[in-house]
Structure 1
Amino acid sequence: MKNLTIFSNHPSWIPDFSLLDKNLSIPGKLGYSWKVLRDGLPYIRIGENIILTCELQKKLIPAQVVADEVKKRLAELKKEQGFKPGKKQAQDVKEAILIKLHEQAFVTSKLINVWINEKHKTLCVESTSKGLVDDVIKRLVRDIEYHGKPIEVSNSVIGFMRKIILDDHAMAGSILRIGSNLVLQDDENKKQISYKNEDIVTEEIKNHLFQGKTPKRIELEIMRKCVSFEIDENLIISKINIDDVKIERSDYENEDDYFDSLFAMHSAQCMEIITSLLDVLGEVDQFQEAETTEEEMQQSYEDGYLAAAQGKQKSDCPIIRSELVAEWVRGFDTWHEENQATQEEVA
């Protein structure tokens, strides 16, 4: 894994991978589907880690081929008609050529890995492309009812990048250290300054920051380990480089055992990257239920009381937190107790 877009899974989400069987990939099947990986299954489980592979198949029509065909056909029409085709006619020609070329086009395939860690309740898509990641997440929601959100941190990632460059002690207590790659951007003209394989804790770079330039991407390393990676302002991890994983293929009887061992080690290193970042940035628990207030309790009681007065049934209680349900029911019952005599007279 070289790139990771991180998501936090809802604590209650338990994936049912058998649901993926409804959308398995076969050669020539256009769109997104799930590739069969091992033993006829579209996933591989290695301890607390699960890997899926989403396959995008689409027909490739090179833009230059389209342009050449359109140019050729428009020239023919001009000769036949005696005048240059107009915009509408040119557009119709292009659409007709696209339809024809689409039928003849080769199908291309792109594989996007999805890594799920059950212990840390995270899901990572191996891509930095927002559009591609969004598409894969949509398929996960549709195919295995995925319930999660993009990882959220309590501290600004840009602020963190600025701080570790400007403050020599900002990384104290962390296993992270600054690497040698950096991208700064001037927010006014959007021009970028890139530093590659350089010391990035210099007076020149500090002056750029003081002048208002914004760090967009920075390389970090894990101390005492040959692990480096880059993060951007959205905490998307890229260019993961793990040099200390040394596994010989000859030590394993088959490819499956070799892959499992290699992936177990790589995923452990990647999880260390994620947890070390969350340690310094602070992960926000997006699924923690807020404490119920007295106002909410009173409102639920009044809602239940009103529901009873309107002749509704107890089964009409809305889906809310358990303590609010209890208050709603208490209000509902209170109305009936207060109006029991009236109800008996009516009866």
Structure 2
Amino acid sequence: MLKNMTVYRIGSGWQPDLSALDEALSKQRFVPCSATQPAAIGWVEPRGEANGPMVESVAGQWLLKLQIEKKLLPSSVVKRRIDERAKAIEEGTGRKPGKRERSDLKDEVVLELLPMAFTKQTSTLVWIDPKHQLLIVDAGSQTRADEVVSSLVKVADGLSVMLLQSTVSPAVAMAGWLGSGEAPAGFTIDRECELKSADEMKSVVRYARHGLDGDDVRQHIGAGKMPTRLAMSWNDRVSFVLTDGLQLKKIAFLDGVFDDNSSPDDRFEADSAIATGELRQLIPDLIDALGGELDVMAVQPVVVEPQPLLAA
């Protein structure tokens, strides 16, 4: 299930329609790269069963999966082949290929090598909570999350989103929790933290498997270093690392959360229901701990516009 969470607020203009979304994603199914295609992108069945639904609805929560395949061409291999071609031209004509000619050579070399290249596939889970108008992407970086959302916006009619924002910035809140030694209600502070200065030095202090209630942490904060990552747990059920960008990383469900008697055939639905059920409660509790959700009507919303996912 989800290992990371970037959370978006869905715009009020979108009308959730499960069958319409399933049909839209079916038209953009993933197709592997052809021999000379450098990359491919498309949607796959989240359950992993061929010809299954493109959108799985579990306990009112919708799950989708985007898949990307890229051909791997090491730059050193491409450069060596270009150098070989350029050398042959120089020996045959007595002149060195210019910048434009080398660019053309690169295009030829890449086209020649692509059919022999290894491929790498990655997939990203997307979770939609239609009732609470939330969209969550399991991506390790903000850039990748925005790219995945942009790909969904292209096919989901009327869908617009903006990042979920809190009234108090995560960095300020985390500094307060560490400074006071008190976590917000329902949460505990764990043993991992990163502090970074805002000056030109950009100095960083990282703690791993280390108590964070010592004077040294408070001294760093007092000197102007702000938390960019903080490991926390929620209700002894979910652990995670909160970032200053309001992302949750390294999500792990603690002992007892997945203790059930479901058969292997039911694991997908059981695990999905349990995971989304826990995280649906964690998100509002965390936002409350950060002073509540920012009033998006008071600021200009930043809408994620469709962008090319497979940039060079």
Give the TM-score range, shorter chain: 0.7 to 0.9
- Report whether the alignment pairs 1:26 with 2:31: yes
Q: Secondary structure at the match of 1:23?
A: coil
290, 293, 299: which one aligns with 1:283: 293
Corresponding residue of 1:58: 70
Deviation digits for residues 109-143 of structure 1, max 9, x if unmatched?
22111011223221101003233222211122111
- Code of the aligned partner of 1:168: G
143, 149, 165: which one aligns with 2:162: 149
Corresponding residue of 1:230: 241
Matches within 5 A, 1:10-159: 10-15=11-16, 16-17=20-21, 18-28=23-33, 30-37=39-46, 38=49, 40-82=52-94, 84-145=96-157, 146-159=159-172
212, 215, 240: which one aligns with 2:251: 240
170, 180, 190: which one aligns with 1:179: 190
How many residues are aligned here?
Answer: 283
CA contact (8 A) 2:24 2:156 kept: yes
Quote the Cα distance in structure 1 between the aligned partners of 2:237 and 2:275. 12
- Code of the aligned partner of 1:179: D
Corresponding residue of 2:204: 192
Deviation at 1:75, TM superposition (A): 3.3
- Report whether the alignment pairs 1:259 with 2:268: yes
Closer, same or farther: CA 195–144 of 1 in aligned 2, 3 Å: same
Quote the Cα distance in structure 2 between the aligned partners of 1:196 and 1:252. 36
Quote the Cα distance in structure 1 between the aligned partners of 2:218 and 2:121. 44
CA contact (8 A) 2:262 2:270 kept: no
Q: Secondary structure at the match of 2:27?
A: helix
Quote the Cα distance in structure 2 between the aligned partners of 1:55 and 1:25. 7
Quote the Cα distance in structure 1 between the aligned partners of 2:161 and 2:248. 18
- Code of the aligned partner of 1:34: W
Quote the Cα distance in structure 2 between the aligned partners of 1:120 and 1:288. 20
CA contact (8 A) 1:176 1:276 kept: no
CA contact (8 A) 1:51 1:115 kept: yes
Quote the Cα distance in structure 2 between the aligned partners of 1:64 and 1:126. 32
Quote the Cα distance in structure 1 between the aligned partners of 2:225 and 2:283. 26
Q: Secondary structure at the match of 1:65?
A: helix
**Which has the higher mean CA deviation after the structures are superposed, 234-243 or 31-40?**
31-40
CA contact (8 A) 2:196 2:228 kept: yes
CA contact (8 A) 2:172 2:226 kept: no
Q: Secondary structure at the match of 2:270?
A: helix
CA contact (8 A) 2:30 2:40 kept: no
Corresponding residue of 1:314: none
If the length of structure 1 is used for normalisation, what is the TM-score?
Answer: 0.74
Corresponding residue of 1:302: none
**Which has the higher mean CA deviation after the structures are superposed, 198-207 or 54-63?**
54-63
Quote the Cα distance in structure 1 between the aligned partners of 2:52 and 2:239. 35
CA contact (8 A) 2:31 2:40 kept: no
- Code of the aligned partner of 1:148: V
Q: Unpaired segments of 5 or more residues in structure 1? A: 290-347
Quote the Cα distance in structure 2 between the aligned partners of 1:114 and 1:211. 40
- Code of the aligned partner of 2:296: Q
Closer, same or farther: CA 9–77 of 1 in aligned 2, 3 Å: same
Closer, same or farther: CA 247–63 of 1 in aligned 2, 3 Å: farther
Deviation at 1:270, TM superposition (A): 2.1
Quote the Cα distance in structure 1 between the aligned partners of 2:267 and 2:162. 33
Q: Which has the higher contact order (CA 8 A, sep 6+)?
A: 2
Corresponding residue of 2:180: 167
Closer, same or farther: CA 44–186 of 1 in aligned 2, 3 Å: same
- Code of the aligned partner of 1:142: K
CA contact (8 A) 1:25 1:36 kept: no
Identity over aligned pairs, percent: 25
From the two aligned structures, give the one with the greater helix fraction: 1
